Copies of this chain bind each other. A is one copy, B any other.
Amino acid sequence: MMKVGIIGAGRIGKVHAKNISMFVPEIEIKTIADPFMNGQTEEFAKKCGIPNVTKDANDILNDPEIDAVLICSSTDTHSKYIIEAAKAGKHIFCEKPIDYDLKKVHEAIDAAKNAGVKLQIGFCRRFDHNHHAVYQMVRDGKVGKVNIIKISSRDPEPPPIAYVKVSGGIFYDMMIHDFDMARFLAGSEVTEVNAVGSVLVDPEIGAAGDVDTAVVTLKFENGAIGIIDNSRKAVYGYDQRVEVFGSEGCARNENDIPNTAVLSNESGTSYENPYKIMWDRYTGAFVAEIQAFVDAIVNDKETPVTGMDGLYPVLMAAAATKSLKEGRPIKISEVE
């Protein structure tokens, strides 16, 4: 039985803890660490059957019984913990992004590589049933050569302004998932990015130096073209759809909805909106990514989202940020 430690007991740390306790019987969470550990978190840990709680991540990093760590702390600590965990010989699952500083990203990736430990980045959407089904169609050649990739990704509500101010901007904090999805679906690297953005949802987001509506076009090495649109606010729910158009067909998906009931009355025919909450939408994806991490360790395989997969979306976010600022397309080579 593999033993893991979780660093960070915030929202995402708790999601992983609960999922592992319910759905991943192959691993056992020995310790959960958080500098703000309190009674409530201890109670939570108990419910999940986690025997040890601590304020000090070193209790995990220095524990020889622990085989792997899940890094769910704040982004600014990711690379540090990756490097330390790698040194301690532990396999690493790290939430996205590794860091916004490309030098730190490279150091973290190198550390894991040199230590020979597995490193998986938490791009959970790759494991979503709907996105993965489109991916599988593409990989199975069902759309032929990929020509156009379209991704719509819209949140039900903007985050608090306080968060917007420190998030690094819409490209780093929101579209980074879509950058990853674009590469995942295309099977090719992005060479150039052009970003357009507006403040249409909330002027305060503009005042904080960010945009809330953004469209990015991507050029891929293989000639394919990508389009991503983001909005901080879709009143009808969490809108997440992808489309891959190719020489032999087109694969696309729709949002999940809570139920399939349809009502027809005098005013028209209607059905329910997509989920409003990310955790409801990607429930299965969070479980599946941990299962894939365990599988990579147990069967000594490459993880399905490598350190380099963590690097490229950051490069794309850097390019998009620069493109929006300068009003021109930016080559990835300009930001590497």
A136 to B327, CA, bound (A): 33
A250 touches B227 (CB 8 A): no
Residues in B neighbouring A77, C-beta threshold 8 A:
none
A130 to B259, CA, bound (A): 5
**With contact pairs A137-B263, A148-B231, A245-B154 given, residues A223 and B250 touching in the complex (Cβ less than 8 Å):** no
A165 to B143, CA, bound (A): 28
Q: Does A101 contact B (CB under 8 A)?
A: no
Residues in B neighbouring A79, C-beta threshold 8 A:
none
Give residues 287-304 of A contacting B (CB, 8 Å): none
Give residues 112-168 of A contacting B (CB, 8 Å): 129-130, 132-134, 137, 142-145, 147-148, 150, 152, 154
Q: Does A38 contact B (CB under 8 A)?
A: no
Residues in B neighbouring A194, C-beta threshold 8 A:
194, 196, 217, 329
Q: How many copies does the complex hold?
A: 4
Minimal Cβ-Cβ distance residue in B for A266: B235
Give residues 35-71 of A contacting B (CB, 8 Å): 47
Partner among B237, B262, B265, B329 whose Cβ is within 8 Å of the Cβ of A253: B262
Residues in B neighbouring A267, C-beta threshold 8 A:
270
B247 touches A252 (CB 8 A): no
Stretch at the interface among A92-100, A169-177, A197-205, A309-317: A197-205
Q: Does A239 contact B (CB under 8 A)?
A: yes
A261 touches B217 (CB 8 A): no
Residues in B neighbouring A231, C-beta threshold 8 A:
147-148, 245
Partner among B134, B264, B265 whose Cβ is within 8 Å of the Cβ of A261: B134
Q: Does A16 contact B (CB under 8 A)?
A: no
Report the minimum CB–CB distance from A29 to chain B (whole Å): 16
Interface of A is mostly: mixed
Q: Does A219 contact B (CB under 8 A)?
A: yes
Q: Does A187 contact B (CB under 8 A)?
A: no
Residues in B neighbouring A273, C-beta threshold 8 A:
264, 266, 268-269
Q: Does A22 contact B (CB under 8 A)?
A: yes
A58 to B213, CA, bound (A): 53
Residues in B neighbouring A219, C-beta threshold 8 A:
196, 198
Residues in B neighbouring A199, C-beta threshold 8 A:
223
A231 to B243, CA, bound (A): 14
A251 touches B262 (CB 8 A): yes
Partner among B150, B200, B255 whose Cβ is within 8 Å of the Cβ of A145: B200
A22 to B142, CA, bound (A): 38
A250 touches B270 (CB 8 A): no
**With contact pairs A247-B201, A265-B143, A266-B249 given, residues A196 and B224 touching in the complex (Cβ less than 8 Å):** no
User: A150, A224, A254, A261 — which one has the most chain B CB atoms within 10 A of its CB?
Assistant: A261
Q: Does A279 contact B (CB under 8 A)?
A: no
Residues in B neighbouring A88, C-beta threshold 8 A:
none
Q: What would 18 more interface pairs be, CB under 8 Å, given A132-B259, A227-B229, A234-B250?
A: A129-B258, A130-B259, A150-B150, A197-B225, A198-B219, A200-B224, A214-B225, A217-B227, A235-B247, A235-B265, A236-B264, A251-B263, A252-B261, A253-B261, A254-B262, A264-B273, A267-B270, A269-B272
**Closest 5 A-B residue pairs measured CB to CB?**
A249-B265, A133-B261, A270-B270, A236-B264, A133-B259
